[in-house]
Structure 1
Amino acid sequence: MVDFDALTRANLRRWEQAKLTRKVISDKVAKSLVAAKARYRAVEAKTGVPWPVIAVIHERESSQNWGRSLAQGDPWNRVSVHVPEGRGPFNSWEEAAIDALLNCHPHLAKRKDWSLAGVLIALEMYNGLGYASKGVPSPYLWAGTSQYKSGKYVRDGVYDPGHVDQQLGCVAMLLSMMAIDPTITFTGAKVTSSTPQAPHMPSIATPSKGSIGAFIASIFNVISKRKS
């Protein structure tokens, strides 16, 4: 049984402390994802799922292959054979993506919380909670950042602690995308727990010096001053 409160706090701390470890690659991927913003926003309009979330899932599931489904990376013009199996065929990538978000577990289109905390939980649920149940960072989120070293489910139910995921995690892509497109923000993130954070512990409001959280906070401060 996954403790979602603990997972939320762990993921927010990881976000605050994360540093890109494959920045050249993540920046290149981010440029490609941001360039397709219009297509992702068309799916967002039908599902309510933020377009950056759709974009990073697309990259994780199929390396942004427009011939593959967002659900599991199978060709969308044929009936899917991998979980979720039996979906399709569809008439377009967009139609398949809408089906994946509306009708397939974990039904992201039904979620209302798209704060940073909500985004991280949604992405972890999309891939599955096997890593959370082990208390380890999910490579689906954290590969390509300092928060991930090794460990991966190499096939269903088989976890190899020494295997290193070669794909970029969603967080690495999101951080690079946010640096390119400042309109990408995830507001309202809060650490909710019956046990308050220790005064010295970094938080979203007071990230640790030199962390990605501090960098993002500085960008937000500049933007806020320009608007005021």
Structure 2
Amino acid sequence: MAQYSFDRTRKDYAQRWDHMAIPASRLAQIDAMARKIIMHKGRYQAVAQDSGVPWAFIGVLHARESSCDFRGLLHNGERILGTGHKTRLVPKGRGPFTSWEEAARDALALKGFKPGAVVWSLARCLYEGERFNGFGYRMRGVPSAYLWSFSNQYSKGKYVADGKWSAAAVDRQIGIAPLMRRLMVLDPSISFDAPKAMDIGNVMVADGLSAAEIRSVQQRLRDLGYAETGMVDGIWGPRSMAGVAAFQATMQLPVTGRLDAHTAARLSTAGRRPVSVERAGLSARQLRQAGDEVARATAGARIAAMALGVPAVVIGVLDQIQDASSRLSGFAQLGDMPGWLMAVAVLAVAVTLYLLARSGENARLEAVRTGRDAGPA
């Protein structure tokens, strides 16, 4: 329907998303369903590769249609897998299907989805979610329960059966929009919010983009392991173009360094960049030996924490608190504390510093191993 095209409706989706609030009483139920989606990530990814649809979006559709029950078709939730039967609900006559994945691919292909066909911005996900279910709510001037149920954007009105409307009925299922929001909280690697510039087609990203939108592209590239992108600073330059070019090369796309619509679509659904066995098995010691400043600094902090903690243990054991207090003259206000308590306090500080340094070292190592950061030159 032309009157419900994406160009005409995108602002409505964006505004409702910005004003959406989720009642605290609903959070536990929504989060439980979101965790189901995350748990089945692998199955959704298998369908995403063929359809070009983000795996998490497939997940929220499945949650809506059958509460993530893989006996229920993505089309409409019917449980006909392996029965030899075709669908009886809308869309009628689909199948028969022998696996959930086979049926899911059919449901998405029926809507015209294929790799590169859609640029999956946040607004686009909401639009395609409503289109997947139908624009019946919009025709009646009611926010779609399929999207907004369990949020402040929906109150009542529901199709209680195919083509049968009730203005008084209230939807009891979770809408896909609250699920999308909570998914992004529970798993920060999930993002439905591709930059708006991805909709502008075959132009340079720097043309008219805000710094926030550029940061979104840069962060996505880095999260996928394209360290060529450089810093996430909102400034589009040669490093950002190099990151796009590296991504295009990995995806076997034309290497231009430009974020055209096809590259943007692949960027929103791609997995992490493959890394070498050597990089994946890198140790903290090897990273330090290679001259990585962060790894060296965290190692130094761990040594300093140990230097602080070991004497504290010795001092506490030997009960030489007076000597220890004189050495800790900067903490004179603590001088009246019992010896054992002073030792415990110093040890607690040392352990905290050690754990923080170790956490920083592990984070740095993981970033280099995955390619998110290039590591030392």
Q: TM-score, structure 2 length as denominator?
A: 0.49
1:17 counterpart (16, 19, 22)? 19
| CA distance in 2: counterparts of 1:57 and 1:107, whole angstroms | 16
| CA distance in 2: counterparts of 1:62 and 1:136, whole angstroms | 23
Aligned to 1:55: 59
User: What is the Cα deviation at residue 86 of structure 1?
Assistant: 1.8
Unaligned runs of at least 5 residues, structure 2 = 200-209, 211-215, 224-230, 234-377
1:91 counterpart (75, 95, 98)? 98
The answer to which of 26-35 and 154-163 deviates more is 154-163
User: What is the Cα deviation at residue 108 of structure 1?
Assistant: 3.1
| CA distance in 2: counterparts of 1:35 and 1:171, whole angstroms | 19
1:107 counterpart (97, 109, 112)? 112
> % of aligned pairs identical?
38
| CA distance in 2: counterparts of 1:117 and 1:126, whole angstroms | 14
Kindly indicate whether the alpha-carbon contact (under 8 Å) linking 2:51 and 2:114 is maintained by their aligned counterparts in 1. Answer: yes
User: What is the Cα deviation at residue 53 of structure 1?
Assistant: 1.0
Is 1:69 the counterpart of 2:73? The answer is: yes
| CA distance in 2: counterparts of 1:12 and 1:150, whole angstroms | 21
User: What is the Cα deviation at residue 90 of structure 1?
Assistant: 1.9
Q: TM-score, structure 1 length as denominator?
A: 0.79
| CA distance in 2: counterparts of 1:189 and 1:20, whole angstroms | 25
2:132 counterpart (126, 134, 137)? 126
The alignment yields a C-alpha RMSD, in angstroms, of 2.4
| CA distance in 1: counterparts of 2:9 and 2:50, whole angstroms | 29
Give the structure with the higher percent helix: 2
Give the direction of change, closer, same or farther, for the CA distance of 1:81–1:172 in structure 2 (3 Å limit): same
Unaligned runs of at least 5 residues, structure 1 = 193-204, 206-216
Corresponding residue pairs, total: 197
Which protein is bigger by CA-based radius of gyration?
A: 2
Query: Counterpart amino acid of 1:55?
Result: G
* Runs of 4+ that moved beyond 6 A: none
Aligned to 1:140: 146
Secondary structure, counterpart of 2:88 in structure 1: coil
Aligned to 2:50: 46
Kindly indicate whether the alpha-carbon contact (under 8 Å) linking 1:20 and 1:145 is maintained by their aligned counterparts in 2. Answer: yes
User: What is the Cα deviation at residue 44 of structure 1?
Assistant: 0.2
| CA distance in 1: counterparts of 2:133 and 2:81, whole angstroms | 19
Secondary structure, counterpart of 1:148 in structure 2: coil
Kindly indicate whether the alpha-carbon contact (under 8 Å) linking 1:113 and 1:119 is maintained by their aligned counterparts in 2. Answer: no
Secondary structure, counterpart of 1:108 in structure 2: coil
| CA distance in 2: counterparts of 1:129 and 1:188, whole angstroms | 25
Aligned to 1:29: 33
